[in-house]
Amino acid sequence: MFNLLLGIAIAIWLAGMAASLYAIRLGRGRSPRRFGTAIALSLGAVLLGYLGLTRLSISASKTVNDETVWSFNSRWFHIALIAFAAFALIHTLWVCRTRAQPVVS
């Protein structure tokens, strides 16, 4: 059961990171039509990170002779995903805003 939950948490994290990276890539493109897709992808990645943080947080540890041998908490991975997805969203909005303004010379 633990391996299944760990696999689901990893899949959510990887999907969110891939969506964030693709949103940054789309945001750097020349086509203004892709900004909506980039914003949707980064918002979806933020949502995946939030769901992973609140609904699917996995914490496991192994103790031997009252000493912790190892400990795992998926919470930190989802916090990193939220931060990276927020960066992708801010980056996309910034690029969209700067390209929409006319250059005055």
DSSP reduced 3-state for 32: coil
Residue carrying structure tokens 């609140």 = 54
- Predicted confidence (pLDDT) per residue in 45-79, tens digit: 999 999 988 888 777 777 788 877 777 788 888 99
Domain boundaries, the chain: 2-100
9: phi then psi, degrees, rounded to nearest 5: -65, -40
Instruction: Give the separation between CA 97 and CA 105, rounded to whole angstroms.
Output: 18
Which two structure tokens, joined as six digits, stand for 98?
A: 């700067």
pTM of the model: 0.80
